[in-house]
Amino acid sequence: MLRTGLAVAGVVALVWGEWLNRRWSRALTGNREGVREVVVVLGYRNPQARANLVNRWRVRAGLRSVAAGRERDTRVIFSGGPTGTGATEAQLMAGYATSVLGFGGTVLLETESRTTWENVTNVIPLLEDADRIKIVSQPAHALKARAYLRRLRPDLADRLVPADDYRFGEWLLVKPLLAAYGLRMLRGLEDDELRGPSLVRGTARTRVPGSRRGRAAGSPRAPFRAGRPA
């Protein structure tokens, strides 16, 4: 009986992790058309001399997010500053993409950012002429970045489309942990920041798990605390 209960709990956790990560991967994106596409790959702290497991996966997810037939019209931006005394996250990811995976498309680097807020702020000048924008990371982290872009530049956020950073069964056993961590990561964002008309067509009031309840109608947005958001 105990084994059965544990098995059921395990299955429920796996299904929950899949559902939540898939939902986050589609939130705040639309189906905008256009030729010029930009894929932004967010870095993860990487004090080692080579790209670590997380950054290698993010690079692969970024490259597979390049739409078929649009390689020549797509720029891939690797964003991430130094986390040690060596190369930046962006440099390590770019090196893995070109030297190991053989990517031959256009690559740009943003090497100063140390937080998600800075990732988004620093890549904005590289997004101005894009028709379609994809942000790649673990789904909750990418959603947080999309929400920040909506705060900073709603006009650019309107160009966001889904990246290929969620696949059913990928990271299956750790997705419940990623989901739990993602709920914590998104806790500081308000409900209305994570909810857009493109999330669920015709149900724009649908709440995204992890957000706080929205403000009362007419109430002002709380000011940022000292410093930048993480």
DSSP secondary structure, 104-125, as one string: -SEEEEE----SHHHHHHHHGG
Domain edges within the chain: 30-167
CA distances from 159 to 32, 64, 72, 127, 219 (A): 6, 19, 19, 10, 28
End-to-end CA distance of the chain: 45
Lowest mean pLDDT among 96-110, 118-132, 143-157, 176-190: 176-190
Residue 203 pLDDT greater than 50, yes or no: no
Residue 212 is given by DSSP the state: B
Torsion of CA 82, 87, 91, 97, to 10 degrees: -120
Beta bridge partners of residue 76, listed in sequence order: 39, 107
Q: Are 163 and 134 in contact (CB under 8 A)?
A: yes
Q: Tell me the percentage of the chain whose pLDDT exceeds 70.
A: 83
User: Residue 223: its pLDDT value, please?
Assistant: 37
pLDDT per position as a tens digit, 60-118? 999 999 988 888 889 999 999 998 778 999 999 999 999 999 999 999 999 999 999 99
- Per-residue pLDDT band at 211 (split at 50, 70, 90): low
- Per-residue pLDDT band at 196 (split at 50, 70, 90): low
pTM for the whole thing? 0.83
CATH topology for the 30-167 domain: Rossmann fold (3.40.50)
Query: How many CB atoms neighbour CB 152 within 10 A?
Result: 13
Residue partners of 212: CB distance under 8 A and separation at least 6:
187, 188, 189, 190, 191
